[in-house]
Amino acid sequence: MLRNTPDSWGAPAKLFHWVMAALILAQIALGVMAANWRVSPTKLELFFWHKSTGILILALVALRLAWRLANPVPLLPSGMAAWERAAARLGHLFLYALMIALPVTGWIVNSASNVPFRIFWLVPLPAIVAPDEPTADFVAEVHGGLAALLALVLAAHIGAALWHHFVKRDTVLERMLPRRAP
Amino acid sequence: MKRIVPVLGLCGLLAFAPLPAQGADWKMDPAGSKLEFIATFEKAAAPGEFKEFDARLRFDPDKPAGSRLEVTVKVTSADMNVADVNKEIRGKDWFDYAAFPQAEFRSTELRRIEGNRYVARGTLVLKGVKQPIEVPFSWTASADGAVMEGELLLSRGAFGIGTGEWTASDVIGADVKVKFKVKLRKAR
């Protein structure tokens, strides 16, 4: 089943979710290491992979968003309090906003700092702002702050999924898992 | 009369004596000149420029044999367009500004390849390392002077640019392209 239904996610939505989950976790690790590594070829290598992965995530989130808008979204389980529904919506809104804002701010830092960069060695990344050191420094701070916010929202997201599964015992987590063979 | 004849004879001799094949002296016009170096970072071009340099040339495009080219480069004027990189390249691992603020090229031989293309062979001293190099260039004369333009590949390792852990060339490439455009005026 490809398309989402009112009670479950289709295969493309699941694939987007889990591939991006893996990429985002790797991306946070790469970013933290790149920022803190002493100046060395390893640091440059870490930044190279962080930037390449970031652009990949930005491309994937665009496709994912298009797919989500073209599909029904599975309903939340009945019996959730109004504030729980609101928190769920807000959390997902934050996740999408951050999946876009993080690569875009990273792209701005790369452009403003004027560092030459080819995505996965292949495609030169065009600049979206003019070279300017104060801009690069400021937006790098914003990027770091957003990354910290993402870590918080992700913790809440994972916590909520586990809470649904183990405490509420509903299907919220299960319906995002790869379907087991019958 | 008797005295004048030998004098005239001497003048005649001088008139036919071969002139030293030196060509004209040329001076660089810094405003119209540019010396770039293009390194690579993860296979992306990382361009830089030496903002201050000077070329002196004795050159006759038709008789390049007796010509000479001398270039001095203020290495400390390097600009790679990225603040962090500019900070980094001053250090001992890279250009080592403190110990080697200047680089120098002196030609030992200059010859025509074909048409307006020439090559100057000589010695480059960069970061204290002497290496023979060939500098190919084109020569374009204009009403107010001439322009010499060319590019060559240097191996940064040969000059110890990027030592220690930077020696490996997978992140910062081994070859650096050097591009120059030198505007010249005849020196009086």
Tell whether A4 is covered by a domain: no
Residues within 8 A of A (CB atoms), B 100-159 only:
none
**Among partner residues B44, B47, B166, which is closest to A41 by beta-carbon distance?**
B166
Asked if residue A26 belongs to a domain, the reply is yes
Mean pLDDT lowest among A92-101, A147-156, B59-68: B59-68
Q: Please check whether residue B89 touches A, CB under 8 A.
A: no
> Are A113 and B170 within 8 A, CB to CB?
no
pLDDT above 80: residue A76: yes
DSSP B18-83: PPP---EEEEE-GGG-EEEEEEEETTEEEEEEES-EEEEEEE-TT-GGG-EEEEEEEGGGEE-S-H
Give this complex's ipTM: 0.81
Q: What percent of chain A has pLDDT over 70?
A: 98
Interface test mutation site (partner A, options B42, B79, B94, max chain A beta carbons within 10 A): B42
pLDDT category at B187 given cuts 50, 70, 90 is confident
Instruction: Name the band, by pLDDT with cuts 50, 70 and 90, for residue B22.
Output: low
Closest approach of chain B CAs to the CA of A167, in angstroms?
Answer: 49
Q: What is the DSSP letter of A178?
A: P
Residue A97 pLDDT > 70: yes
Does residue B14 carry a pLDDT above 50? no
Please report the number of interchain residue pairs, chain A to chain B, with beta-carbon separation below 8 angstroms: 41
Inside any domain, residue A96: yes
Query: What integer pLDDT is reported at residue A140 of this predicted model?
Result: 97
Q: Contact B165/A48, CB-based, under 8 Å?
A: no
Residue A134 falls within a domain, yes or no?
Answer: yes
Rounded to the nearest angstrom, the minimum Cα separation between A150 and chain B is 27
Domain for residue A3, yes or no?
no
Q: Residue A165's Cα: distance from chain center in Å? A: 22
Contacts of A93 (CB under 8 A, 6+ apart): none
In angstroms, what separates the C-alpha of B32 from chain A's closest C-alpha? 24
| Contact (CB, 8 A) for A72 and A20 | no
pLDDT tens for B29-44 read: 999 999 999 999 999 9
Domain annotation covers residue A165: yes
Q: What is the mean pLDDT of chain A?
A: 95
Residues in chain A closer than 8 A to B43 (CB atoms): 118, 121
Q: pLDDT confidence of B13, banded at 50, 70, 90?
A: very low
Q: How confident is the model at residue B143, as a pLDDT? A: 87
What's the pLDDT at A179?
Answer: 79
Asked whether the predicted pLDDT for residue A145 surpasses 80, the reply is yes
User: Could you give the dihedral angle defined by the CA atoms of residues B171, B176, B177 and B181, in that order, rounded to the nearest 10 degrees?
Assistant: 120
Of A41, A45, A117, the CB nearest to B44: A117
Containing domain of residue A66, as a range?
11-176
How many independent structural domains does chain A possess? 1
Which of A48, A113, A131 faces B42 most closely, judged by CB atoms? A48
pLDDT 10s digits, B115-170: 999 999 999 999 999 999 999 999 999 888 999 999 999 999 999 999 999 999 99
Residue A33 has pLDDT above 70, yes or no: yes
Model confidence band, residue A12 (pLDDT cutoffs 50, 70, 90): very high
CB contact under 8 A, B82 and A39: no
Q: Is A57 exposed, middle or buried (0-12, 13-18, 19+ CB in 10 A)?
A: buried
- pLDDT tens across B39-95, in order? 999 999 999 999 999 999 999 999 998 899 999 999 999 999 999 999 999 999 999
Burial A2-26 (b: 16+ CB within 10 A, else e): eebeeeebbebbbebeeebeebbee
Is residue A1 assigned to a domain?
no
Q: Is B87 on the interface with A (CB under 8 A)?
A: no
pLDDT value at position B18?
A: 44
The domains located in chain B, with CATH, are 19-186 (2.40.128.110)
Is residue B17 predicted with pLDDT exceeding 50?
Answer: no
Q: Chain A residues with CB inside 8 Å of B171's CB?
A: 41, 44-45, 48
CA dist B125 and B100 (Å) reads 10
Residue of chain A nearest B164, judged by CA positions: A40
We report the CATH number of the domain holding residue A46 as: 1.20.950.20
Question: Which of A114, A121, A131 is nearest residue B42 as measured by Cβ atoms?
Answer: A121
User: Which residues of A sit within 8 Å Cβ distance of B?
Assistant: 39-41, 44-45, 48, 113-118, 121, 124, 131, 133
pLDDT tens track for B90-116 = 999 999 999 999 999 999 999 999 999
Contact B83 A39 (CB under 8 A): no
Cα angle for residues A60, A22, A72 (degrees, 5° grid): 50
Q: Check CB contact of B83 with chain A, cutoff 8 Å.
A: yes
Q: Using the predicted structure, report yes or no on whether residue A133 has a pLDDT greater than 80.
A: yes
Output the pLDDT for position B3.
Answer: 56
Q: Give the closest-approach CA distance of A139 to chain B in angstroms.
A: 16
User: CA A115 to CA A56: how far, in whole Å?
Assistant: 18
Q: Is the pLDDT of residue A24 over 90?
A: yes
For chain B, what is the mean pLDDT? 90
